[in-house]
Amino acid sequence: MGVGVALITPFDQNHEIDYDGFRRLLEFTSEGGVDYLVVQGTTGETSTTTAQEKADLLKFTKEHNAKNLPIVYGLGGNNTKVVLETIKNTDLSGVSAILSVCPYYNKPSQAGLIAHFTAIADASPVPVLLYNVPGRTVTHLQIPTVLELAKHPNIIGIKDASSIENAIELAKRCPKDFLLLSGDDNLVTAAVSIGFSGVISVIANAFPKEFGEMTWAALKGNFDEAAALQHRFLDFDTLLYAESNPVGIKKCCEIKGICSSEVRLPLVKASEELGAKLTKAMNAENFWK
């Protein structure tokens, strides 16, 4: 519930993991009031981090989690056998749940998705959150599929980044104890108003305080306040994805002195034009806390 931050993975000029930057990020987001940490979600550039790097990032997070926040760990893929082997070989002690993205590229059927996530839930020693992001994976977890998977005792919720229409139907049809989390920062206030419990956020990497205030205003039913804050983020959020994620949010973190904006190929870091636009937007909204 509340705000989970989908942590970026800072890199140095040689594109190696910058653990000093990662430590600063953990401190900044934790002090900023996020409710839990999401390690190696797709915003963490999981497609270009190695298995050893993923394990090291999780270990580092556990060791530098000063506020003892819950940790959600991204653990998914499009090869079910490899995902199951990774679960078996990963130290998930201290992890509250895993976040498992919908298989990408191979476009499984809904029956295949049920079999895939059931196998993961059966194997995982911690609860599983589904992640539906069809804009990136192509495959969409349809509502009947989610309802079937919700019957599994180890599948506790879903991060949905599809559409507001899908969110409405999820809120209407899913069991009341099934955790619904927005995967779209621009839809948080609207999603909470129909029954969602919070968000796993990209923006919270650089603006945890402001985004937390917005989300919790909505969760407390103060929708006028939440809407006013949501409007401040509207144009800004669009800029973050202009050159793909996490390029924009990494540039914001660089502007704020948290870490470098370096990304790994095939992504390239933010252009000067985008950097100028982000700085202008941050100045306009006084996003410097």
Q: Quote the crossing angle between the two packed helices 110-123 and 80-89, to the nearest 10°.
A: 10
Residue 98 is assigned to a ligand binding site: no
Active site residue 131: yes
pLDDT score for 58 = 98
For 196-207, b/e burial (b = at least 16 CB within 10 A) is bbbbbbbbbbbb
- Residue 187 tokens read as 């839809």
Instruction: Judge whether 108 and 74 are in contact, CB under 8 Å.
Output: no
Q: Tell me, what's the pLDDT at 284? A: 83
Output phi, psi for 13, to 5 deg: -65, -20
On whether the pTM is more than 0.95, the answer is yes
Q: Domains for the chain: give ranges and CATH numbers.
A: 2-221 (3.20.20.70)
143 known ligand binder: no
Q: Which amino acid is residue 196, in one-letter code?
A: F
Q: Which of 36, 73, 104, 131 is catalytic?
A: 131
Main-chain dihedrals φ then ψ at residue 259, nearest 5 degrees:
-165, 175
> Tokens 């990032």 appear where?
57
Task: State CA 182 to chain mean position distance.
Answer: 9
Contacts of 186 (CB under 8 A, 6+ apart): 230, 233, 234, 237
What does the pLDDT profile of the chain (289 residues) look like in tens digits? 899 999 999 999 999 999 999 999 999 999 999 999 999 999 999 999 999 999 999 999 999 999 999 999 999 999 999 999 999 999 999 999 999 999 999 999 999 999 999 999 999 999 999 999 999 999 999 999 999 999 999 999 999 999 999 999 999 999 999 999 999 999 999 999 999 999 999 999 999 999 999 999 999 999 999 999 999 998 889 999 999 999 999 999 999 999 999 999 999 999 999 999 999 999 887 765 5
Q: Which of 54, 159, 251, 277 is catalytic?
A: 159
User: How high is the pLDDT of residue 288?
Assistant: 56
Q: Is 251 a catalytic residue?
A: no
pLDDT (0 to 100) of residue 123: 98
H or E segment at 281?
A: helix 272-285
